Every structure is written in structure tokens, then in C-alpha cells.
Amino acid sequence: MILDYILRRLGLLFFMVLLLSIFTFSLSYLFPGDPLSNLSGIPDTNFTQNAQLEEKYLFNSNYFMQYIAFVGRILQGDWGMSFASGSSVFAHVVDLIPATLELSIYALVISVVVGVPVGILASAYHKQWPDKFISSTAMIGYSMPIFWLALLLIMVFSLKLGWFPMSGRVSLLYEIPASTGFILLDILLADFPYNGLAMLDALHHLTLPTIVLAMYPTTVLVRFTRESMLKVMDQNFIKTARAKGLTRGQLIIHHALRNALLPVIKQIGLQFSTLITLAMITEVIFSWPGIGRWLIDSIYQRDYPAIQGGLMAVSLFIIIATIMAELTYTLLDPLSRNQAHGKV
């Protein structure tokens, strides 16, 4: 039964990736300019280059053959060349994705570690002042535009108080070789005389962007957890347990939590895709060298191969993350395993 479900989900994954690739392929035609340039990344092709490219990209055959050629190239790692930098788009993507992932993962962890317990707390003190306080704070955080929050934090903590820096991942004077791309890991792995200082510096740089990025998912999780808990606590089996004499604490920990947390886990998985999008804005404001900032810069510069590559990379990650989160959720939830058709 489970295997069947997993296979079907993987099928969905494949289908989604297929659609994504078709969409990305069509972008070369949808974007203004010469499609051949958009595909290859060479802006003004002369005659011989044109001929070579036409052969390579099967330009003279129908769209289906071109699409096959496109998929072949993608799988081999030839994602074209960026107009702006002249280097391989794939190299850029590989270079920049770890930074975005690192930021998003830390923000996700914070939102779970902070959001879920606070939501549980709010539901435990339902209709009393802790609940009201937490709910209103969550509502305020949920409604705040992320770029405004970032600007406020920069104004107060960076410029006025000088506690945290406002750009980059680590002070530029530290030359940290990029082995994994995750800055904290790289510092630990590097054979570097000033490891401790560099680590502290990197943590300083991480603080503000992570807080900004974590704000929205944390408030979503607080609200969602609170509602999920309230819904479960309202159910008859809880009332029975209460009547039998269990204390509030025992109720929550032994009975309500396990049932309430399941949809919360599903929600956590969904948050990942929102995180990556919000990360794009955060990266622009904090000059964080991740794929989001690169994508937005490419849009300004009309660097079409780069836009294609960036979109494909980001969407791919989101799709994979969503499906993985779903699989995890389904493995944990007995009820949804038995669903005949995958109704999301």
C-alpha cells in the first residue's frame, strides 16, 4: 500500500518536473530577443556560430525535437551562458544555491523551534491573556511586509546600535575556501588561523537575515499550530479524557499533541516553498550572495539564460522539497495513507 503511494507521488514529481522543463524551454521563445541567443547565452552570434548552434540545438527541426535536445543538454549540465558574466549558468547556480539553502534551512528551523511551542502555549491558555498576546503578536508579524521589517531591523540594529552587520555572509577580509558552500561548515572545515573569529563573524552576519526570513513562517506556524491544537482539544475523546480526570498537561502531551502535530508537519513542508521566495527579497536587501539575488539582478539586466537557469533551479528545489515533505507526512499519518486518489 505504502509503496503504491510512494510510487504515485514519485510519478507526480516526475510529471511536475516535466511540466517545469517544458515551461522553461518555452521561455526561450517567450522572452524577447533571438531564441537562439536566449538558449545559448551568446548575445550576437555571427554566421558560423549561428550555424553551429542551429545544429547543436536542432533548431531546424520541429519544437518536439528541440525540446528533446534541450532536455539532453540540461541533464548534461549545459544550461547556457549568462549574458552578463559570460560564464556557465550551471556554474553560477551551483555556486549560489548553498547560500540560499543555508539561510532558508536556518530560518525554517527557527520557525519550527519557536513557532510550534508558542502555538501550543497559546492553545493551552485559550481565551486568557497569553493566548491573546501571542495571537495579536502573530497577527502583526503575519501582516508585516517582509521588506519593511528588514529595513526596520537594519535601521535599529545595524545603523543605530551597530550590533549586527547588514550585508554579506562574512567579513570580506576572511578568505574562506568554498568547499561545501555552507558558510558555517566551510569555516569549520577550513584550515584557517582565525577560525573562531571568522565563525563569530559569520554568525553575526547570519542573524538579521535569518530573523527577517523566519518571521513569516513562524507566525504562520504559531497560528496554524494553535488552531490545530484547539480543533483537537475540542474533540470528544479529549473531553472524555478530561472527564476521567487527566490534568491539562497530561492531556496535551499524551493525547492532543500527536494528533494536532500531524497537519502542522504538513504545513511545515509547505512553508519551504514560501521561504525560498521570501528569501529572494531578503537576499536583495541584505546583499546575501544567494540564488534569489542573482535571479532578480538577472531580471533587471535582461539576462535571459540566467533567468531561465535560476527559475529552473528554484522551482526544482521547491517541487522536490514539497514532495519530500508530503512523503514524510504521509509516512507518519496513517489516515492519509489509505487515500485512494492523491487529493492534496
Partner 1 sequence: MAKFNLFSEDSNKSPLARLWRKFKNNHPALVGLWVFIAFSLLAATAPFLAPYGVNQQHSDALLLPPSWNEMGDVRFILGTDDLGRDVLSRLMNGATYTFGLSVVAALITTIIGVLVGTFAGISKGIRSSFLNHLLDVTLSIPSLLLAIIIIAILGPGLMNTVWAIILALLPQFIHSIRNLIVDELGKDYVTAYRLDGASKWHILSRGIFPNVYEYIVVIFTMALSTAILDIAALGFLKLGAQPPTTEWGAILAENLGLIYLAPWTVALPGVLLFLAVLSTNLVGDGLRKVLQARKAD
Partner 2 sequence: MHKLLLALISLSLVGCIDSKEEILEEKNQGLVYCAEANPVSFNPQVTTTGSTIDIIANQLYDRLISIDPVTAEFKSELATDWKISKDGKSVTFTLRKGVKFHTTSYFTPSREFNADDVIFTFSRLFDVYNPYHFVGDANYPYFQSVGIDQLIRKIVRVSDHQVRFELFNAESSFLANMATDFAVVLSKEYAMALKANNQENLFDQYPIGTGPYIYKEYRRDHLVRFYKNADYWKHEVALEQLVYDITPNGTTRIAKILTKECDVTAHPSSAQLSILAQRDDINVERETNLNIGYWAFNTERPPFDNLKVRQALVYAIDIDKIMQAVYYGNGLRAQSILPPTSWAFEPQKNMPSFDPQLAKKLLTEAGFPKGFDMSIWAMPVSRIYNPNARKMAELMQSDLRKIGVNVNIVEYEWNTFIQRIGEHRHDSVLLGWAADTPDPDNFFSPLLSCTATFSGKNPANWCNPEFDLLLTKALDTTDLNLRKQYYDAAQSMIIKQLPLLPIAHGMRFQASSADVEGITLGPFGAISLANARKR
Q: Least distance to partner 2 from the beta carbon of 230, Å?
A: 25
Distances in Å between the alpha carbon of 15 and those of 21, 319, 340?
10, 11, 19
Binding to partner 1 by residue 10, rule CB under 8 A?
no
Show Cβ contacts of residue 218 under 8 Å, excluding neighbours closer than 6 positions. 110, 111, 114, 115, 118, 141
Binds partner 2 (CB under 8 A): choice among 17, 203, 238, 316: 203
Binding to partner 2 by residue 162, rule CB under 8 A?
yes
Q: Least distance to partner 1 from the beta carbon of 311, Å?
A: 6
Binding to partner 2 by residue 300, rule CB under 8 A?
yes
Q: Which one of partner 1, partner 2, none is in contact with 316 (Cβ closer than 5 to 8 A by kind)?
A: none
Binds partner 1 (CB under 8 A): choice among 59, 67, 125, 142: 142
Residue nearer to partner 1 on the CB measure, 23 or 192: 23
Residue nearer to partner 2 on the CB measure, 119 or 269: 119
Q: Least distance to partner 2 from the beta carbon of 281, Å?
A: 15
CA pair distance 338, 117, nearest whole angstrom:
30
Q: Give one DSSP letter per residue of 23-84, joined into a string.
A: HHHHHHHHSSS-HHHHHH--SS--HHHHHHHHHHTTTTS-HHHHHHHHHHHHHHT---B-TT
CA pair distance 76, 187, nearest whole angstrom:
31
CA pair distance 206, 182, nearest whole angstrom:
12
Binds partner 2 (CB under 8 A): choice among 195, 259, 328, 336: 195
* Span from 100-108, 161-169, 234-242, 266-274 in contact with partner 2 (CB under 8 A): 161-169
* Span from 60-68, 115-123, 173-181, 315-323 in contact with partner 1 (CB under 8 A): 315-323
Residue matched to cell numbers 513562524: 218
Strand, helix or coil for residue 203: helix
Binding to partner 1 by residue 343, rule CB under 8 A?
yes
CA pair distance 154, 146, nearest whole angstrom:
12
Residue nearer to partner 2 on the CB measure, 50 or 85: 85
Residue nearer to partner 1 on the CB measure, 71 or 166: 166
CA pair distance 274, 217, nearest whole angstrom:
8
| Residue 88: DSSP 8-state | B
Ramachandran sector of residue 219 (left: φ over 0; alpha: ψ -120 to 50; beta: rest): alpha
Q: How many chain residues bind partner 2 (CB under 8 A)?
A: 31
Binds partner 2 (CB under 8 A): choice among 35, 141, 168, 181: 168
Q: What are the residues binding partner 1 (CB under 8 A)?
A: 12, 15-16, 19-20, 27, 30-32, 136, 139-140, 142-148, 151-152, 155, 273-274, 276-278, 280-281, 284, 295-296, 299-300, 307, 311, 314-315, 318-319, 322, 341-344
